[in-house]
């Protein structure tokens, strides 16, 4: 990197080492999430597999007390029947340390969220709204630890159903019938699964791993299926009976994001909790604005500080996965993404300082949208006045007037109020969504850009009951 190249990107050539680090980090992440790198990696993996005459090896990491894992377990056998893969299952514990921010909230959300999405994927999740006890979790884990790989695939969902129903009798019956590992054997099985997951550079449960890429549960299975289909790894051929599934029919297609036929008159309220450094926010924000407009609901934007600016640690392992996953999701949604210039720290703070002023001029949404586009699509350095001016003017605001607002701190209390409201709803990550009915009561509270389709469907359900 030359001084001229760095200055062309809006940096200060040699005076500010932190600015150089920001530029280098941004360049690295932009390369990591690029389509070119991903396609080259996939091609290399396939060449090696073909050269070694190896099967398509698919690994699955099952966390017994995780709602998302229970949904994934229901698709293990169908995956094996549909695709020509060597499916290898591992028992693991949940994420730890800097890889999990709020373990208790995550546990509760996993079964609330799993219950909400299960019917849309043709799956089941017991609606008991009661988290399994530690004793029940240990029993279920012991059963699965005693199974060989084929029996694990066959029985994981059965064990999960009994666990999430809190059916002690059914669990004990399965332990007697299928066998159960001793405490020492269970610990060894989980340790082995954790070690394998760590070696492959991940941290979570309900994860599928194929060809150097990770796929989270049913929500990312469509990416994996499309990849296997492109590789010709389907067991179904077009020569089968006319009523059989097509080779391109997915077991778990992503539900479409559709506004629906019913139009609201702003009786419902959709809250979005975005942050300015979140790649998932970047690919969801404008689509959320469009959804609110198309459905007629009232949109309330409640920005929060990025996690790392709230003192929440994010490991390199987790950070890289998030950016790679966001890039893949953006491409699937047809959303521009990937030319990144890190807005962490002062750039985000300066934009937040402008937010109350922008809202007074009814341009708050436009300001956040312009900033996210600059940081995640255009590769604009928002850490200087030139970059921030582009953001402000891109939002239809006056730059000289904006400069007068940069020193205020009104935004700090506002963002903290939003954070507390998000936590009160049982959420902590961004983007999060709350849908309120016409009485202002919470009808839905979910986390993640991949829940926009669920928000859209819940809007239609609420409007349908009002007809």
Nearest to 212 by CA among 65, 387, 337, 42: 42
14 pLDDT tier (thresholds 50, 70, 90): very low
- Cα-based distances in Å from 16 to 10, 11, 28, 116, 384: 12, 8, 19, 49, 12
Asked if residue 296 and residue 153 are part of one domain, the reply reads: no
| Residue 461 pLDDT | 97
Please state, for a pLDDT cut of 70, what percent of the chain lies above it.
94
Which of 180, 201, 230 is a domain's end point?
230
Asked if residue 353 and residue 216 are part of one domain, the reply reads: no
Asked if residue 396 is part of any domain, the answer here is yes
Which of 205, 230, 255 is a domain's end point?
230
- Cα-based distances in Å from 235 to 53, 121, 399: 18, 21, 60
| Residue 279 pLDDT | 97
In this structure, the number of other CB atoms found within 10 A of the CB of residue 162 comes to 23
pLDDT at 349 over 50: yes
* Domain total in the chain: 2
Query: Tokens 């909400």 map to which residue?
Result: 116
Q: Round to whole Å and give the CA distance between 80 and 93.
A: 24
Asked if residue 217 and residue 293 are part of one domain, the reply reads: no
Q: What is the dihedral of CA 84, 88, 94, 96, to 10 degrees?
A: -100
Global confidence as pTM: 0.93
Find out whether 202 and 101 touch, Cβ atoms under 8 Å: no
Asked if residue 44 is part of any domain, the answer here is no
Which of 230, 258, 279 is a domain's end point?
230
Nearest to 378 by CA among 350, 173, 386, 255: 386
Tens digits of residue pLDDT in 433-451: 999 999 999 999 999 999 9
Asked if residue 309 and residue 210 are part of one domain, the reply reads: no
Residues 6+ apart with CB under 8 A from 156: 62, 73, 76, 89, 144
Asked if residue 252 is part of any domain, the answer here is no
Asked if residue 12 is part of any domain, the answer here is no
Asked if residue 429 and residue 310 are part of one domain, the reply reads: yes
Asked if residue 15 is part of any domain, the answer here is no
Label each residue of the chain as H, E or C: CCHHHHHHCCCCCCCCHHHHHHHHHHHHHHHHCCHHHHHHHHHHHHHHHHHCCCCEEEEEEECCCCHHHHHHHCCHHHHHHHECEEEEEEECCCCCHHHCCCHHHHHHHHHHHHHHHHHHHCCCCCCCCCCCCHHHHHHHHHHHHCCCHHHHHHHHHHHHHHHHHCCHHHHHHHHHHHCCCCHHHHHHHHHHHHHHHHHCCCCCCCEEEECCEEEEHHHHHHHHHHHHHHCCCECCCCCCCCCCCCCCCCCCCCCCCCCCCCCCCCCCEEEEECCCCCHHHHHHHHHHHHHHHHHCCEEEECCCCCHHHHCCCCCHHHHHHHHHHHHHHHHHHCCCCCCCCCCCCHHHHHHHHHHHHHHHCCCHHHHHHHHHHHHHHHCCCCCCHHHHHHHHHHCCCCHHHHHCCCCCCHHHHHHHHHHHHHHHCCCCCCCEEEEECCCCCEEEEEECHHHHHHHHHHHHHHHHHHC
Tens digits of residue pLDDT in 304-328: 999 888 877 778 899 999 999 999 9
Q: Round to whole Å and give the CA distance between 225 and 78.
A: 12
Asked if residue 276 and residue 213 are part of one domain, the reply reads: no
Q: Round to whole Å and give the CA distance between 232 and 288.
A: 36
Asked if residue 226 and residue 95 are part of one domain, the reply reads: yes
Would strands 298-301 and 269-273 be described as parallel, antiparallel, or unpaired?
A: parallel
Q: Round to whole Å and give the CA distance between 405 and 351.
A: 10
Tens digits of residue pLDDT in 45-104: 999 999 999 999 999 999 999 999 999 999 999 999 999 999 999 999 999 888 888 888
Asked if residue 216 and residue 347 are part of one domain, the reply reads: no
Asked if residue 184 and residue 85 are part of one domain, the reply reads: yes
Residues 6+ apart with CB under 8 A from 102: 428
pLDDT at 144 over 80: yes
Asked if residue 290 and residue 208 are part of one domain, the reply reads: no
| Residue 73 pLDDT | 98
Q: Round to whole Å and give the CA distance between 170 and 245.
A: 34
| Residue 314 pLDDT | 79
Find out whether 76 and 89 touch, Cβ atoms under 8 Å: yes
Tens digits of residue pLDDT in 264-283: 999 999 999 999 999 999 99
| Residue 312 pLDDT | 76
Residues 6+ apart with CB under 8 A from 278: 306, 430, 431
Q: What is the CATH number of the domain that holds 450?
A: 3.40.30.10
Asked if residue 277 and residue 224 are part of one domain, the reply reads: no
| Residue 83 pLDDT | 97
Tens digits of residue pLDDT in 160-173: 999 999 999 999 99
pLDDT at 352 over 80: yes
Asked if residue 382 and residue 298 are part of one domain, the reply reads: yes
Length, in residues, of the chain? 467
Find out whether 321 and 303 touch, Cβ atoms under 8 Å: no
Asked if residue 78 is part of any domain, the answer here is yes
Q: Round to whole Å and give the CA distance between 467 and 457.
A: 16
466 pLDDT tier (thresholds 50, 70, 90): confident
Domain containing residue 121: 55-230
Q: Round to whole Å and give the CA distance between 305 and 189.
A: 39
pLDDT at 243 over 50: no
Nearest to 214 by CA among 201, 196, 230, 233: 201
Asked if residue 41 is part of any domain, the answer here is no
Q: Kindly tell me the burial class for residue 373, based on how many C-beta atoms sit within 10 Å of its own C-beta (0-12, 13-18, 19 or more).
A: buried
More confident residue, 98 or 113: 113
Asked if residue 47 is part of any domain, the answer here is no
| Residue 4 pLDDT | 45
| Residue 114 pLDDT | 96
């Amino acid at each position: 990197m030359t001084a001229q190249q760095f200055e062309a990107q809006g940096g200060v050539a040699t005076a500010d080492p932190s600015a150089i680090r920001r530029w280098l980090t941004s360049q690295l992440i932009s390369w990591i999430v690029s389509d070119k790198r991903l396609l080259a990696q996939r091609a290399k993996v396939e060449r090696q597999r073909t050269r070694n005459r190896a099967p398509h090896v698919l690994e699955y990491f099952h966390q017994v007390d995780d709602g998302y894992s229970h949904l994934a377990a229901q698709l293990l056998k169908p995956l094996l029947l549909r695709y020509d893969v060597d499916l290898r299952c591992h028992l693991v514990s949940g994420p730890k340390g800097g890889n999990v921010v709020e373990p208790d909230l995550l546990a509760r959300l996993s079964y609330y969220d799993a219950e909400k999405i299960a019917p849309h994927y043709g799956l089941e999740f017991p609606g008991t709204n009661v988290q399994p006890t530690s004793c029940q979790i240990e029993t279920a884990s012991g059963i699965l630890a005693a199974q060989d790989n084929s029996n694990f695939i066959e029985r994981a969902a059965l064990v999960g159903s009994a666990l999430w129903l809190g059916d002690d009798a059914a669990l004990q019956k399965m332990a007697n019938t299928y066998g159960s590992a001793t405490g020492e054997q269970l610990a060894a099985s989980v340790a082995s699964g954790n070690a394998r997951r760590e070696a492959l550079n991940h941290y979570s449960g309900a994860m599928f791993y194929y060809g150097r890429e990770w796929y989270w549960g049913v929500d990312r299975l469509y990416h994996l299926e499309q990849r296997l289909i492109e590789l010709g790894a389907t067991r179904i051929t077009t020569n089968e009976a006319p009523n059989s599934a097509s080779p391109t029919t997915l077991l778990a297609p992503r539900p479409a994001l559709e506004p629906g036929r019913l139009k609201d008159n702003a009786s419902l309220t959709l809250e979005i909790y975005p942050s300015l450094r979140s790649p998932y926010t970047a690919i969801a924000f404008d689509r959320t604005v469009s959804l609110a407009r198309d459905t007629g609901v009232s949109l309330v934007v409640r920005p929060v500080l990025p996690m790392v600016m709230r003192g929440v640690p994010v490991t390199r392992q987790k950070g890289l996965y998030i950016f790679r996953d966001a890039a893949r999701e953006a491409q699937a949604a047809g959303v521009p993404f990937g030319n990144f210039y890190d807005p962490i720290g002062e750039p985000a703070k300066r934009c937040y300082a402008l937010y109350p002023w922008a809202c007074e001029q009814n341009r708050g949404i436009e300001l956040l949208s312009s900033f996210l586009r600059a940081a995640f699509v255009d590769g604009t350095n928002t850490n200087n006045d030139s970059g921030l001016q582009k953001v402000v003017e891109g939002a239809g605001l006056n730059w000289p007037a904006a400069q007068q607002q940069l020193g205020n701190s009104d935004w700090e209390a506002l963002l903290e109020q939003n954070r507390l409201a998000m936590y009160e709803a049982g959420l902590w990550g961004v983007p999060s969504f709350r849908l309120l009915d016409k009485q202002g009561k919470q009808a839905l509270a979910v986390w993640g850009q991949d829940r926009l389709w669920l928000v859209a469907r819940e809007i239609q359900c609420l409007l349908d009951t009002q007809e």
